Amino acid sequence: MKKTHIVLLVLMVAAISVLVSVFGSFSTYETFASAAKQPGKSYYVVGNLQKDQEMQYDPAKDPNHFIFYAKDKAGNTSKVIFNGEKPRDIEKSEQLVMMGYQDGSTFHCSRIQMKCPSKYKKDMVVEGKSS
C-alpha cells in the first residue's frame, strides 16, 4: 500500500470515530417511568401540562421555584419541580420537552422547551438555575 492510502484510511477512521462520539451522546426521549429506573440520570421527557392540576409559583417567596404537573406520552403523570421562573405562556403550550431527572415520584427539571401551537411562533426554551 502507498503511504497516501494509509494516511487516507487513518483519516477516515478518525472521522468516523469523531462522528460516532458526537452523535452517540444524543439522548432519546423517555417517559417518567423509564427515567425513574435510573434516578439522578438526566433525560428528556416529552409531555403535556396538566392544566387541571395545581401550579405553584410565588415570585415574592422564591422566583426560581415553579411546581406543576405533566403527563408524558405513556399517560403517566408526575409532579415537576423547575428551578427557574415560571415560563411565560406555559398554559398555551401544546407540548413540553423537559430535561431533568426523576427522584421518586418527582421530576426535577432544569430546562423546558415549550412547543407553541402556531407554526409562526418559535418554540420557547427556558433554562433553570443550578441547584
For 98-126, give the secondary structure using H, E and C.
EEEEEECCEEEEEEEEEECCCCCCCCEEE
Model pLDDT, residue 118:
63
- Per-residue pLDDT tens over the stretch 48-92: 999 999 999 999 999 999 999 999 999 999 999 999 999 988 988
Q: How far apart are CA 56 and CA 39, in angstroms?
A: 24
Scanning the structure block, which residue is given the C-alpha cell 500500500?
1
Which CATH architecture is the domain 28-127 placed in? Beta Barrel (2.40)
Where do the domains of the chain lie?
28-127
Average pLDDT over residues 93-119: 88
Q: What is the pTM of this model?
A: 0.71
Model pLDDT, residue 22:
64
